[in-house]
Amino acid sequence: MSKVSGISDVLSDCSFYSALSHSPVRAAGNTPNLSIYRPRGEHLYGSFRYKAPTEGLLQVGGAHSTEAEWSDDFEIAWTKMGNKGPLVLFLHGVPTNRSQWEEVQGQVSRFCETISIDMLGMGESSKPRLYGRRQNSAPNDMWHWIHDTDYIEKLMQQEYPGRKFIFIADDWGSGIASQYAAKYNERLNAFVQMDPIAFDGYPVNEIQAIGRAAEIPNTPEGDAQYAMLFAAFDQTLVQILKTMVYDPSKYNQYNLRYLTFPYVDVDYERNGCGDGITGVAKSTTMRLKLHNMRVLSDRAATLSPALLLPHHPQRNPNGVRYQDITVPMLIMWGEYDNMMPAAQTQRFANVLGTDDVQITYIPRSGHFPATDNPDGVADTIINFIRRVMGRSALADIYAGNQGIWKGDEQQMVQELRILHRIAD
């Protein structure tokens, strides 16, 4: 060992000792103070213009083929947060949108550059009716998850040319993410699935019931029949969402608007005249958005377990080539998921092309852990990224976001930033 390196080692020892040996600033038992980190990233909203490989019906003109405008130009809505650290993409489940990730994305954005998107047909992204089938034919395969990989790859290449990223997906989004990771493995630094639909554990009854409605003809008469059968869809949707969380009180009539707005009119501006009579919003004026509901039905009708079972050249040609996924992988699952059992996590470890598979069960969580326990999900994600990318890759020192803190964390983080050469 050279003299210089020996002196450096001594200085590092002293510096690390100093960073972790402060007296508590306050009495023990402090709750986490996340202001010691870099601030959350500013919300930036936008969309990616996507030229799809097939035509779909956009609600520009009328609702039917004789009067509507056809287009193959769609938009994928996104939210960006954070400007430093590893690049992370979040993709949501069903029947939700990118707002499902907002709290977790905000926490992760202190340490990573992040983007969340609405998949085609949901949230604020375009909702193409009769996607890929201009005639009233049976649902086709354009709604298969494999086709979503095209706009995701084009979006990421346009917004972040050539950059690798960490793909994090939940529920339905994980069907897309599995196909993407198998097809574009070299584009990823790591892969994260949360309560994923997987193997033959899908579909579930709630989504099957919505998918069957795609058999109703796409005619004015069919729309009337659909509207009658789904007159209570707003209630059904809320009940589905409340079964997906461990604590139903996580949802109420205000925060549910973020998830239900594509399907239910929640516009209270009808009361803006102020006379208490004219234009007052009531149950019959808070309309269901038939077009968006039928898009959801069209997509739900085409998806099957075979699309998530392993690829087989003859028996399952549209399956996932799990063995082509060789990047480190994290599987998170809600401890109390009553929709798809958490034991499915172990199956991933036996079919992936990587031995680096971390399995973590999120406590006090149902099928939507990011809603039930966002602190636990964010903590798991950040620690996983630090492990696979290295601690110097994060935009800041991470000391946790929950539990009991000593009270000297702000001083400790400031000193560790210097030691690890992390600038603000």
pLDDT digits (tens, 9 = 90+) for 260-271: 989 988 766 555
pLDDT tens figures, 325-373? 999 999 999 999 988 888 888 999 999 999 999 999 999 999 999 999 9
In a domain, 257, yes or no: no
Residue 256 lies in a domain: no
Residue-level pLDDT at 285: 64
74: CATH: 3.40.50.1820
Q: Residue 247 domain-assigned?
A: no
pLDDT at residue 255 tops 80: yes
> Is residue 268 in some structural domain?
no
Q: Of the ranges 54-58, 141-145, 153-157, which one carries the lowest mean pLDDT score? A: 54-58
Q: How far apart are CA 202 and CA 145, in angstroms?
A: 13
pTM of the entire structure? 0.93
Q: What is the pLDDT of residues 22-66, one digit of tens each?
A: 888 766 667 889 999 999 999 999 999 999 888 887 655 555 555
Domain that holds residue 319: 38-228+290-419
Residue 133 domain-assigned (yes or no): yes
In the prediction, which pLDDT does 241 show?
A: 93
Mean pLDDT of 186-199: 95
Provide the domain count of the chain.
Answer: 1
Q: What is the pLDDT of residue 134?
A: 67
Residue 4: pLDDT band (50, 70, 90) is: very low
Percent of the chain with pLDDT over 90: 63
- Asked, for residue 259, whether it belongs to a domain, the answer is no
- Domain membership flag for residue 9: no
Q: At residue 20, does pLDDT exceed 50?
A: yes
Please give the Cα distance from 194 to 198 (Å, whole number): 11
Answer for the pair 113, 128: CB distance below 8 angstroms, yes or no.
no
Residue 249 lies in a domain: no
Percentages helix, strand, coil for the chain (3-state, rounded to 5) are 40, 15, 45
Instruction: Classify residue 129 as left (phi > 0), alpha (psi -120 to 50) or beta.
Output: beta
Looking at the chain, the whole-number percentage of residues with pLDDT higher than 70 is 88
